[in-house]
Structure 1
Amino acid sequence: MALEQMIRNILVPTDYSDASLNALESAIDIARRNQSLLQILHVEETDGEHLGPVKLPLSDHAREVAEAMAVGILQKHGIGAGAIFQKGFAGPAIVQTAFEKKSDLIILGAHGASGMREQFIGTTAYYVVKYAHCPVLIIPEGSKWLDFKNILFPHRTSFGSFKRYEFIKAMSSDQRASIEIFALSVDSDTVEGHALELMTHRLNEGGKLPAITLSVQFREHKNIPREVLDRADRMQADLLVLSPAVDVINKQFFIGPFCQRIMHHAKMPVLYVR
């Protein structure tokens, strides 16, 4: 499948907070690179718990703003965009809308998705990551993330994480981008190491894809979340890709403890791909 077809439909929930608007900027750039349709979702929660500091509480006004944003994106960037307005609980509304609209990617602001501030993601973002049928990209507030050139992909060979590589490639437009496969293993089996090297060579065939570097890190009773976070900091990663393969347990609607800890403490955008 061609890269421009990997991400055809992007859903961006917004509550008009700075964090969610920052995520929208990232979404615009990804949509432009992939020729995607951008759908802006505003959820007015009915239980009194907002997505974040909603600046425009009136439904009619919020609808008008979302529609104006969609029109502005089309006029300024040439990206097809639409506005969706829902009422209900934020997390389920986002997940259900993404399913109904057949979204290929959901992009959330790290704190715009929840009023909670004590960790990287709040309850709404966690719910979306857990239950969404498609990949979820969480953008931290405070910095602009308009392209991804240093991508870290923690990986376990036995779970077939390389199937997610095509999607990861579509996240970056820079042919000089580096995707580092940070291998996680239960032991130092050299057969697994050779398998990783062979797969990396196959992925690099063709010459037009982002470069892949291979770093093999065997667990051997070490702290896997800390190892991943330290590696991301050292390589100045601007995107950290997680999948159920980071944890030994791989079940539907389950986010393992390793992924949870990494997501809560990461300083860069996190892409969760099932």
Structure 2
Amino acid sequence: MKKILVPTDFSEEAENALKVAAQLAKKYGSEIYLTHLLELPFTQLDALSQHSELPEAMFFMKLARQKFKDVLSKKYLEGITVYETVDFNQSFSGIADTAKENNVDLIVMGSHGASGFKEMFIGSNTEKVVRTSEVPVLVIKNEHETFDINNIVFASDFKNDNKETYRQASELALAFNAKLHLLMVNTANNFTTTAKANSRILDFINGYNYNNYSINIYNDENVEQGILNFSHSINADLIGISTHGRQGISHFLNGSISEDLVNHAKRPVITFKI
């Protein structure tokens, strides 16, 4: 975990994420890439490409630079190498591009979630990053004075998910020295016996040497609610889940449990791209 990307809009939620990133950076000797993306209309973006001193763009750039200066003066960032950038882009696509360009290992984002029609038709920027990012995305909802992770829920069907996501989850658990709670949620419409579920999970994790884990089969009305209820029952510090990164009409018709969790969970959520 050498490079951590933290997108910011200088909101309270973004600062909560930066505080967590700072704790991780100090613990693992990481660098932080703090980026702010200005969303300008396409007509202004075209003009900006030809005239770098477009008045509106320069105004917002200077404003962002001043806010960066204020953020970088925070005591919790002392001793951490922080690179700050301001780009003109649509925030959700720009963040994924920035992550690739800088070869980051983790994106840490703040979120207040989305609900109702906003969730259905617009969604939060964090949700869109989860959908497009190739690297794990850690979503922070609240302030964490001390970001200690002792219990991680890794929710999966242990059938359609790529085993690569479990490798990432087990390495994360090892880094935190945390217990990994492997969770499969049973629903009435997609029921699996306990014996078959246990066998499927053991086959899924076969070949990995991380031994600090538990196997859990949990019954609930739907998968999302099952993950939330189980995580509450063990007071989990972090929920980990895979995302297929569906976009366009596929996303609208099929939805995504990972993105729903990003919007609805009160606990931190980390997503792994399949």
Give the TM-score normalised by structure 2.
0.74
Aligned residues: 244
Matched to 1:27, the amino acid is: A
Structure 1 match to 2:11: 17
Q: How does 1:102-251 map to 2 (within 5 A)?
A: 102-111=103-112, 122-144=123-145, 146-168=147-169, 169-170=171-172, 173-175=175-177, 177-184=178-185, 186=190, 187-188=192-193, 190-197=195-202, 203=208, 211-217=212-218, 222-244=221-243, 250=244
Structure 2 match to 1:8: 2
Structure 1 match to 2:272: 273
Shift in Å at residue 201 of structure 1?
8.0
CA contact (8 A) 2:185 2:227 kept: no
Q: How does 1:13-162 map to 2 (within 5 A)?
A: 13-47=7-41, 58-66=60-68, 69-70=71-72, 76=78, 78-111=79-112, 122-144=123-145, 146-162=147-163
Matched to 2:201, the amino acid is: L
Distance 1:11 1:67 in 2: 18
Shift in Å at residue 8 of structure 1?
2.4
CA contact (8 A) 1:135 1:272 kept: yes
| 1:63-94, Cα deviation, whole Å (9 max, x unpaired) | 24425645767972x33221111123222222
Shift in Å at residue 42 of structure 1?
1.2
Distance 1:142 1:17 in 2: 12
In structure 2, relative to structure 1, the CA distance for the partners of 1:251 and 1:44 (3 Å cut) is closer
Shift in Å at residue 46 of structure 1?
1.6
Shift in Å at residue 202 of structure 1?
5.9
In structure 2, relative to structure 1, the CA distance for the partners of 1:170 and 1:73 (3 Å cut) is farther
In structure 2, relative to structure 1, the CA distance for the partners of 1:142 and 1:67 (3 Å cut) is closer
Matched to 1:212, the amino acid is: Y
Please provide the CA RMSD for this pair.
3.5
Structure 2 match to 1:50: none
Aligned identity (percent) is 23
Counterpart of 2:34 in 1: which secondary structure?
A: strand
Q: Which has the higher helix share?
A: 2
Structure 1 residues not aligned, in runs of 5+:
1-6, 48-56, 245-249
| 1:181-208, Cα deviation, whole Å (9 max, x unpaired) | 0024642273441342466686455x7x
Shift in Å at residue 241 of structure 1?
0.9
Structure 2 match to 1:258: 257
CA contact (8 A) 1:23 1:109 kept: yes
Distance 2:219 2:271 in 1: 22
Distance 1:179 1:9 in 2: 24
| 1:184-243, Cα deviation, whole Å (9 max, x unpaired) | 4642273441342466686455x7xxx211112367xx4111111111111111211111
Counterpart of 1:129 in 2: which secondary structure?
A: helix
CA contact (8 A) 1:74 1:81 kept: no
| Greater mean deviation of Cα atoms: 14-23 or 57-66 | 57-66
CA contact (8 A) 1:108 1:138 kept: yes
Distance 1:106 1:251 in 2: 15
Structure 1 match to 2:51: none
